[in-house]
Chains A and B, each alone.
Chain A
């Protein structure tokens, strides 16, 4: 249509093509729910955290806070975080637990990060089995601790703060989030589709069309006789 689109036209299109939007939204939400609840296996994540500090400090009287020392621990934490995902540590974990995974797969499952501006290292492992995720996380941590002296000359004390425990809440998939995203995306897609269908539909639809496009007089508008209200309803 060459005419500019008024709000009334837009609403009219949406009303006329509401079924397209509804179908698209329904299909998308159903698909998202199916994916989230049935097809995609639930993934659980277990986390453990390690802290880096000096062995000698234990039991020694504290004579002031050494800023330089803390800085050292922080940069060490970053280095150690890299070491945790090294082949040596992960291979040790695989050997210990006799895991079927390769080092590469285990690297994909494991996330290591230094917690902000601290000397704390977080190790998270994702797996389909919550208990197994916790076991691997703990083993990665202990492998790291045992492997550390053979890998670096400086030996700092690395100790476990929190052992990983099985978490029963899955980290992915997140059904509600997926469904919400699908809903919004499908709504937009459906509306776009509705307008496209309307744009390519060049049939005469309303008495207005007859007047506007052809300058013809509309002698009568006959309602659909197959529709119930057309024949059995009351006109006035």
Chain B
């Protein structure tokens, strides 16, 4: 796969051409996640994966973005669905407009034209939220939403859903019934134990298939043991310039 020469980056300085083929720890972490998800589903097909977190701003959309990109690199058809109808951010991360999207699809005034296929990732499509509805959880729990998901299951190999956080709103729990598996994003040093436990209880009560947690923003101190074991990363070794992702 040729390295993209584009330098399109999001506000995080990390574009979707950003780490393709990169050996950076972040890129490897998502490859690990991809592999783990693949093996998490031995008895059951793991087609629709819902990404959520206990509280806001723990990195859900980041995980959705990079996970979708990483899976699409294996040649699978991937759909990144922004089901965060309250505070959508996925379109900004992919740098695409958000005039029409999921909310239009659910109420039935849009068709597959709202699917955006990304230039740099031909196997990856995105559905943004569209206009923000006042009744997001009702929309996510509607029959039309279910039909839409059935359709996406047929058309795509993997659907990754970005959702609002669990504790403040119920949307993610409603949407979890549409998913085969749920990933809980936990931000190291920020998410509190009680929040994770609460989110876990809520998801279990909804009979969601909680696959596991992604520990986001793990710091160097946490890495000493794990990070270096898991990734073989030697933090003391300075980054070699030629290994840096081609983003500038």
- By a beta-carbon cutoff of 8 Å, the part of chain A in contact with chain B is 12, 15-16, 202-210, 213-214, 216-236
Contacts and interface: CB of A to CB of B under 8 A. Distances in A.
A220 B62 contact: no
Contact of B213 (A205, A216, A231, A233): A216
Interface string B198-221: 001000000000111111111111
A218 B215 contact: yes
A233 B235 contact: yes
25 contacts: A12-B221, A203-B191, A204-B186, A205-B189, A206-B225, A207-B218, A216-B184, A218-B215, A219-B40, A220-B29, A220-B215, A221-B214, A221-B223, A222-B30, A222-B214, A225-B26, A225-B62, A226-B217, A230-B26, A231-B19, A231-B24, A234-B237, A234-B239, A235-B232, A236-B232
B148 to A, nearest CB: 26
Contacts of A227: 219-220
B14 A231 contact: yes
A190 B125 CA distance: 52
B212 A219 contact: yes
Contacts of B224: 15
B183 to A, nearest CB: 6
Contacts of A235: 23-25, 27-29, 231-233
A208 B25 CA distance: 19
Closest 7 CB pairs of A and B: A217-B212, A220-B33, A235-B28, A236-B232, A232-B239, A219-B212, A235-B231
Contacts of A219: 32-33, 36-37, 40, 183, 211-214
Contacts of B23: 234-236
